[in-house]
Amino acid sequence: MTLVIAMDGPSGSGKSSVSKGVARALGLRYLDTGAMYRAVTWWMLREGVKVEDPAAVAARAGEPDLRCGTDPDDPAISVGDTDVSRPIRTPEVTGAVSAVAAVPEVRERLVALQREIIGIGGIVVEGRDIGTVVAPDAPVKIYLTASPEVRARRRSKELSGATVSATQADMARRDRLDSTRKADPLTRAADAVEVDTTSLALPEVISEIVQIAKGADAGASVREALSSEERP
């Protein structure tokens, strides 16, 4: 497998900006798995599915036609022919996505799709269960975190019509739901490197992770070379 960087962490920790920056710096593809769950949630709401009813969500989990771009400069996401990049960031979707993402049938389908997109690697993948579930064999695992206040400020800038205080309260609710759900809960992989972005500028975080990735990639190349020498 070529380089796969698994980038996990709670909302507002900087995953998207950092992941895109790292992907650009290393010439890798990029995948935002959180956007995929948001896209399914947007579709469920549009179709009138009761998102608080797991059985109703599970019954239609296979219907949305998701299309995910992997260009870090243009990570488009659509449902069918509809570009949903902006609609999935509304408070309505944000308030419902944890309930939809907790449904095992939704997770099973999206994890399979995510693994298909990852393929042989060459990609930075961000989410909440990448290093633990989606790509547990990824050679580079990063767990980004930041203080609740900083996370709320960052996320409120991304969402339509959201105040910092309301965003912080909603993020606390989502963190609680996502870390306690039965299906693939948010948790740090045992071998992940934790990076606290609270007081770091974006270029500093990107640089740190690029160096970690280069070290891991160099180590893998050496191990592969040694393994080749040992073969008859």
Residue boundaries of the structural domains of the chain: 4-230
Report whether pLDDT(115) > 90: yes
pLDDT in tens, 24-33: 999 999 999 9
pLDDT in tens, 190-206: 999 999 999 999 999 99
Specify the pLDDT at position 138: 95
Q: Any idea of the CA torsion for 36, 37, 40, 44, to the nearest 10 degrees?
A: -160
Return the SS3 of 92.
helix
Q: Which runs of consecutive H residues, i.e. helices, occur in 27-135? A: 33-46, 54-59, 91-101, 104-118
Options 3.30.70.260, 3.40.50.1370, 3.40.50.300, 3.30.750.24; CATH for 4-230 is: 3.40.50.300
Pairing of β 4-8 and β 123-127: parallel
Report whether pLDDT(224) > 90: no
